[in-house]
Amino acid sequence: MKNLLLLIFPLILGINVDAQSTSLKGSVKDHNGEGIKKVEIYVDMKQIKESTNKKGEYSFDHPMEFQLLTIYSPKHGFIHWTYKGEEKIDFVFPEDSEPLKKSSFLGMGYTDLKNIPEHERNFYANYGSILDILDNRFREVQVKDGQILIVNRGVNSAMVQEPFVLVNDIPTDIANLETIPTSEIKSIRVVSKGSEAAAYGQRGANGVILIRLKEAEDERN
């Protein structure tokens, strides 16, 4: 099938510190270098709500590890890529790409949003609190006696207390975290070392937890 011919330019900027939460961005273009809008994105053969914008750019945070990334455009077909931890992947459809009906694409085993159960679409909502998410979904975090403990890997690895926690880039504490409904969470990232943690200075010495909440536009989609 011609639409399987593809050009992909993965840019490996580093591997995400929190292996159970993935951040990825990139672009989708035609053979002339023009961005393609409204390209659907599928993770492990299931559609996610994000798609490409008017410039053909995309970005998303996924709460779990995954292996297969697929993009689909009715006018250009589809491209799939085995994900290996890249932080940026740019796709280019070749000149001889052929249109592909949505029904034919889904017939290959892919699942679109309307056929994904609500509990799978709203992953974080399955947990009772943000502390439950941190304790159960991130290997480098433990929640004990109302305190967040995070692994600070180095010459002498150890569990340390009081990581720097930000919600929508605003510093917060555990008491405030417990008031946030899990259904409002868009993404969570844990940074325990490296230049990203160092960027927060002394406050990030014990690690950083970055929480992003859904915006009104997210709720409508």
We report the CATH number of the domain holding residue 103 as: 2.60.40.1120
pLDDT of 109 reads 93
| Number of domains comprising the chain | 2
pLDDT tens readout for residues 75-89? 999 999 999 888 899
pLDDT of 93 reads 96
In this structure, the answer to whether residues 133 and 212 fall within a common structural domain is yes
Q: Name the residue range of residue 173's domain.
A: 124-220
Q: Cα(123)–Cα(155) distance, rounded to whole angstroms?
A: 35
Q: Cα(28)–Cα(51) distance, rounded to whole angstroms?
A: 10
Which residues are registered as beta bridge partners of 72?
40, 78
pLDDT of 72 reads 97
pLDDT of 197 reads 78
In this structure, the answer to whether residues 104 and 203 fall within a common structural domain is no
Cβ neighbours of 42 (radius 10 Å): 21
pLDDT of 119 reads 54
Q: State pTM to two decimals.
A: 0.57
Q: Cα(85)–Cα(14) distance, rounded to whole angstroms?
A: 8
In this structure, the answer to whether residues 79 and 129 fall within a common structural domain is no
Which residues are registered as beta bridge partners of 216?
none
In this structure, the answer to whether residues 129 and 102 fall within a common structural domain is no
Q: Which of 26, 136, 138 is nearest to 83 (CA)?
A: 26
Q: Which of 69, 78, 7 is nearest to 44 (CA)?
A: 69
Query: Token pair of 48, please?
Result: 């996610």
AA letter at 96: D
In this structure, the answer to whether residues 116 and 167 fall within a common structural domain is no
pLDDT of 38 reads 96
Q: Cα(208)–Cα(198) distance, rounded to whole angstroms?
A: 9
In this structure, the answer to whether residues 12 and 89 fall within a common structural domain is yes
Q: What is the pLDDT along the chain (221 residues), one digit of tens a residue?
A: 444 445 555 443 333 434 456 789 999 999 999 999 999 999 999 998 899 999 999 998 776 678 899 999 999 999 999 998 888 999 999 999 999 999 999 999 999 988 876 656 667 777 888 988 888 878 788 888 878 888 655 545 556 667 899 999 999 988 899 899 988 888 888 887 777 778 888 888 888 899 999 874 454 44
Instruction: Give the end of a domain, one of 121, 147, 165.
Output: 121
In this structure, the answer to whether residues 85 and 108 fall within a common structural domain is yes
Q: What are phi and psi of 134, to 5 degrees?
A: -60, -40
